[in-house]
């Protein structure tokens, strides 16, 4: 029986896994190199959706994640299901949007088309001149979460059931013996004997995996978010316009994003992250074009997050075959997936069968090589599981 579990990372995944484990009676220690919600979870657009996510198994996992948020929402007010409006800026974009909506409707996902008048009923402070006459997609069950408040709730629930939260103390080593992780070593010198470890380290997940002798491919990207001062503009939902994406952030504040501003983040030789002020100004200007009332807004914060993206873009969830007490809970779309996927992983750590849900997202998929004697259509062969582990 698994009793002592160390969860590495105190973001949305770490908090969700910890709550799931503590609910089931495990002795949980959550360890973070910084503060809870201090990493990617504190700098995320936190849009809950399954809007165009493929393949079908990934779409279904996200839909289940959205449903889990609705259930948990009865315990707090960090979840906001106002829907999402999206439209394209050119003919090619409109064709792609129509393909996406058609595919989602085939899956049974809620979506419908609006004209300008319909969009303005939902978002009356939009500038009509910035909204197309028709072709506006509306996804009513999508929304956003306040990640710090969600993390606080989940960690408080875990602590109430005996969990410990260790902050500002990085994991520096994992002692592996006889095919299992035995001890988690921290920068402070503390040694934590374990029955299981869950890697919820987000952008640092590959580094934690390496400590166990595992090679996790990641292709992380930076994301830049612009936060405004409170402003008297009615924005009630997520909006994806061609030139800017935005959502409310509570107390009259807004969060804005563009793909262009992501490229304006630079890391200096000293390790400090800098965002080009002109790019930030351009984001705010795009927001003002869409919502003229934003002319009274100022930028009060610019946050840069590192998005954790596994090598093939899909989540990495659950146990490792070659190291069965080491588990992953790592993905992009963490705001959507964490509550549901974190509970699946927590259940599996304690011996419950969750293979039907987790099978498409196992770590072992990265150990599949294309046989050089075969074409891609002929099939694949798996590498030896032993190659997961460092021979040392």
44: nearest Cα among 171, 144, 177 = 144
pLDDT in tens, 299-320: 999 999 999 999 999 999 999 9
| CA trace torsion 145, 148, 149, 151 (10° rounding) | 100
User: What are the angstrom distances between the C-alpha of 108 and each of 56, 94, 99, 103, 336?
Assistant: 12, 21, 14, 9, 18
- Return the closest-CA partner of residue 17 out of 314, 308, 337, 353: 337
Hey, what CATH class is 4-45+147-217+311-369 in?
Answer: alpha beta
The CB-side HSE value for 109 (13 A sphere, CA atoms) comes to: 27
Q: How far apart are CA 137 and CA 112, in angstroms?
A: 6
Query: By three-state DSSP, how is residue 298 classified?
Result: coil
- Please report the pLDDT score of residue 383 as a whole number: 39
Q: What is the pLDDT of residue 267?
A: 85
Task: Give how far the C-alpha of residue 65 lies from the chain's centroid of Cα atoms, to the nearest Å.
Answer: 11
- The one-character DSSP state at 322 is T
Residue with tokens 């609910």: 23
| CATH, range 221-307 | 3.30.9.10
**Residue range(s) in the chain whose domain bears CATH number 3.30.9.10:** 221-307
**Which residue ranges in the chain fall short of pLDDT 50?**
369-392
Contacts of residues 380-388 at CB distance under 8 Å and 24 or more positions apart, as own/partner, are 385/321, 385/322, 386/322, 388/213, 388/214, 388/215, 388/320, 388/321, 388/322, 388/323, 388/363, 388/364
Helix-helix angle 147-160:12-23, to 10 degrees: 30
Q: How many residues in the chain?
A: 392
3-state percent helix, strand, coil for the chain, nearest multiple of 5: 35, 25, 40
Q: Using an 8 Å Cβ cutoff, are 91 and 99 in contact? A: no
Q: What is the pLDDT of residue 205?
A: 98
Q: What's the CA gap between 172 and 142, in Å, rounded?
A: 39
C-beta separation of 238 from 82 below 8 A: yes
pLDDT for 126-156, tens place per residue? 999 999 999 999 999 999 999 999 999 999 9
3 state SS of 84 = strand
pLDDT of residue 368: 67
| 13-70 residue pLDDT tens | 999 999 999 999 999 999 999 999 999 998 999 999 999 999 999 999 999 999 999 9
Q: What does the block give as tokens for 270?
A: 């000293």
189 class by beta-carbon count within 10 Å (0-12 exposed, 13-18 middle, 19+ buried): exposed
Q: How far apart (Å, rounded) are the C-alpha atoms in residues 121 and 116?
A: 9
The whole-angstrom distance between residue 145's C-alpha and the CA centroid of its chain comes to 11
What does the block give as tokens for 36?
Answer: 């809870």
Per-residue pLDDT at 1: 58
Range(s) for CATH 3.50.50.60 in the chain? 4-45+147-217+311-369
- pLDDT at res. 388: 37
């Amino acid at each position: 029986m698994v009793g002592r579990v160390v969860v590495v990372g105190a973001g949305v995944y770490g908090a969700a896994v910890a709550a799931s484990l503590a609910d089931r009676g495990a002795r949980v220690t959550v360890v973070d190199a910084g503060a809870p919600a201090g990493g990617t979870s504190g700098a995320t657009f936190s849009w809950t959706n399954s809007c165009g996510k493929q393949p079908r198994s990934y779409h279904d996992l996200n839909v289940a994640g959205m449903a889990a948020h609705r259930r948990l929402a009865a315990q707090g007010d960090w979840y906001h299901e106002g829907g999402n409006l999206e439209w394209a800026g050119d003919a090619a974009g409109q064709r792609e949007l129509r393909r996406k909506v058609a595919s989602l409707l085939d899956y049974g996902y809620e979506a419908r088309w609006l004209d300008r008048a319909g969009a303005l009923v939902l978002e009356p402070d939009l500038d009509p001149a910035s909204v197309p006459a028709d072709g506006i997609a509306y996804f009513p069950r999508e929304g956003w979460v306040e990640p710090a408040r969600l993390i606080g709730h989940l960690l408080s629930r875990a602590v109430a059931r005996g969990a410990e939260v260790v902050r500002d103390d990085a994991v520096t080593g994992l002692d592996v013996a006889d095919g299992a992780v035995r001890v988690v070593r921290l920068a402070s010198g503390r040694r934590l004997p374990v029955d299981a470890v869950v890697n919820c380290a987000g952008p640092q997940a590959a580094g934690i995996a390496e400590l166990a002798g595992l090679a996790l491919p990641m292709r992380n990207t930076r994301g830049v978010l612009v936060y405004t001062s409170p402003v008297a503009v009615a924005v009630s939902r997520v909006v994806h316009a061609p030139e800017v994406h935005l959502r409310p952030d509570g107390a009259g504040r807004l969060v804005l994003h563009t793909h262009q501003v992501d490229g304006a983040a630079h890391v200096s030789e000293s390790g400090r992250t800098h965002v080009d002020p002109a790019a930030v100004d351009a984001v705010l200007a795009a927001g003002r074009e869409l919502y003229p009332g934003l002319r009274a807004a100022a930028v009060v914060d610019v946050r840069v997050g590192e998005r954790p993206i596994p090598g093939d873009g899909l989540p990495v969830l659950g146990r490792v075959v070659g190291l069965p007490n080491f588990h992953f809970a790592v993905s992009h779309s963490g705001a959507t997936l964490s509550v549901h996927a974190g509970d699946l992983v927590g259940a599996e750590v304690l011996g419950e069968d969750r293979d039907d849900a987790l099978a498409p997202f196992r770590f072992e998929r990265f150990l599949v090589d294309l046989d050089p004697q075969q074409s891609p259509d002929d099939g694949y062969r798996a590498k030896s599981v032993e190659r997961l582990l460092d021979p040392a």
